[in-house]
Amino acid sequence: MRYKRLPVSNDTRSRILDRALALFVARGYDGVGIQEIVDAAKVTKPTLYHYFGSKAGLLSALFDERLEELHERLAVAARYERHLPTTLEAIAQVFFSFATEHPDLYRMHLAMWFAPAESEARKAIARAHERQFSLLENLFIQATPDYGNMRGRHRAYAATFLGMVNSYVALALNGHTRLDDALRRQAIHQFVHGIFS
């Protein structure tokens, strides 16, 4: 039996991603089934499988595609111009802005990082987190000649900075603070004071 190839429609594909994101944010990745996603997107299961191959493929595509804008903006912000505090402020601004513009996606991004190590959710987000961590790690390596006391600490600084930024974003997403300029400056001042002492 020959199957007719489904026409490619970016609208259909985007609609599936949008509906899946809304469902995953509301109830978690494991709490949502394929049938719910296709019902919400008003497509058939074969259509979802055509575009993504599986539920895990859908989740991977969601992160790969929807976080690409964040990664592109971070790459620009992380260009080191020999003044680390300025670069860190620019990076924090990108994270804060993206989280403000895409709160559901960022909430899911944070939640999946803490999913069980062997889960589909954790595997799907691992690439995005590795890209962010590597970008920060490389920044601290580049800054080491200008700030000698940082030598050999780039991994710890990258992890600490990313953790700090994501903690502030989580506080904001839960209504405990606002991701404004004052908070960004305070966070960078606190971080820089710690690494330069």
Q: Is residue 5 part of a domain?
A: no
Together in a domain, 89 and 181: yes
pTM: 0.89
Together in a domain, 163 and 75: yes
Number of domains the chain contains: 2
The CATH number covering residue 114 comes to 1.10.357.10
Q: Is residue 4 part of a domain?
A: no
> In the structure, what pLDDT confidence band is assigned to residue 193 with cuts at 50, 70 and 90?
confident
Structure tokens at 101: 């513009």
Together in a domain, 110 and 170: yes
Indicate whether 3 pLDDT > 50: no
Q: Is residue 37 part of a domain?
A: yes
Rg (CA), the chain: 19
Residue type, 152: G
Together in a domain, 91 and 24: no
Together in a domain, 132 and 188: yes
Together in a domain, 124 and 40: no
Compute the mean pLDDT over every residue in the chain, rounded to the nearest whole number. Answer: 92
Q: How close are the terminal C-alpha atoms of the chain, in Å? A: 70
Domain extent for 39: 10-63
> In the structure, what pLDDT confidence band is assigned to residue 4 with cuts at 50, 70 and 90?
very low
Tell me which residue of 115, 92, 104 sits closest to 166, measured CA to CA: 92
Tell me which residue of 95, 104, 55 sits closest to 73, measured CA to CA: 95
Indicate whether 194 pLDDT > 90: no
Together in a domain, 38 and 95: no
pLDDT tens, residue by residue, 59-107:
999 999 999 999 999 999 999 999 999 999 999 999 999 999 999 999 9
Together in a domain, 182 and 100: yes
Indicate whether 195 pLDDT > 90: no
Mean pLDDT over residues 139-145, rounded? 94
Q: Is residue 41 part of a domain?
A: yes
pLDDT tens, residue by residue, 6-23:
344 479 999 999 999 999
pLDDT tens, residue by residue, 115-134:
999 999 999 999 999 999 99
Together in a domain, 44 and 120: no
Tokens 């899911």 locate to 108
